[in-house]
Amino acid sequence: AAGVIQSPRHLIKEKRETATLKCYPIPRHDTVYWYQQGPGQDPQFLISFYEKMQSDKGSIPDRFSAQQFSDYHSELNMSSLELGDSALYFCASSLVAGGPETQYFGPGTRLLVL
Amino acid sequence: AQSVAQPEDQVNVAEGNPLTVKCTYSVSGNPYLFWYVQYPNRGLQFLLKYITGDNLVKGSYGFEAEFNKSQTSFHLKKPSALVSDSALYFCAVRSWGYSGGGADGLTFGKGTHLIIQP
């Protein structure tokens, strides 16, 4: 079965640079979620989009923004990167239209900020 | 606000023995509970969930979990552990109903390292 696709899988950036992470949800899923997992930490919810509209907002820094496009893929844009942004970034998708459903996670993008 | 507690950082079990990984939660409204497993340098794999109905939920790879409303717990169990079950397990919660929408994010516990010894 098709899974959530994230690109790139690994990314190295310098401080103050920008980064864009991409997420392609499972086909026919209408909702995308972004999570950040620091080293040895639990995943922290950042933001979600349902039918291309922002739905829920968690601990997303103001330096980060995200959107969901007409084909339901999503991008997380990160600016003025800091050392503390080094983490594993997960995207998850679900089908919400029929009621709350399971979030299926992608393999993650590992971001290293030097 | 919602929260999840996994009181054990690590659980050690001998292969073939039953295992339990503990989870308690706090949420406004109805709880929607999950267990996920994470292998090193991998994503989170869904194991099972509770929305409503039977308190005993069966999931992937022989795992099950019991929802206990009075104790606000959702412990993960397996009757006979395998070495391949060794991984990091996360319990997660979200509310749904009057305070939660369909696309709300999950709140995770800190995770429990499960180590199955041959």
Kindly report, residue by residue over A26-42, the tens digit of the pLDDT. Answer: 998 989 999 999 999 99
**Residues in A touching B43 (Cβ below 8 Å):** 90, 105-108
**Residues in B touching A92 (Cβ below 8 Å):** 44
Q: Once rounded to an integer, what is the mean pLDDT over residues A2-17?
A: 96
Nearest CA-CA partner of A83 in A110, A111, A62, A114: A114
Measured in degrees and rounded to the nearest 5, phi and psi for residue B15 equal -55, 135
Measure in Å the smallest separation between the Cα of A84 and chain B Cα atoms: 19
What residues 81-100 of chain B have any CB closer than 8 A to a CB of chain A?
Answer: 90, 94, 96, 100
Q: Is B69 on the interface with A (CB under 8 A)?
A: no
Query: A47-61 burial by CB neighbour count: b if 16+ within 10 A, else e?
Result: bbbbeeeebbebebe
Measure in Å the smallest separation between the Cα of B2 and chain A Cα atoms: 12
Place of tokens 């369909």: B102
pLDDT tens, A59-97?
999 999 999 999 999 999 999 999 999 999 999 999 876
Contact status, residue A88 vs residue A113, Cβ threshold 8 Å: no
Pick from B34, B44, B104: CB nearest A90 = B44
Question: What residue ranges of chain B have pLDDT lower than 70?
Answer: 97-102
pLDDT for residue A13 is more than 60: yes
What residues 37-66 of chain B have any CB closer than 8 A to a CB of chain A?
Answer: 42-46, 49, 51
At residue B98, the pLDDT reads: 47
Among B36, B104, B108, pick the best mutation site for testing chain A contact (most A Cβ within 10 A). B104
Closest-CA residue of B relative to A100 is B102
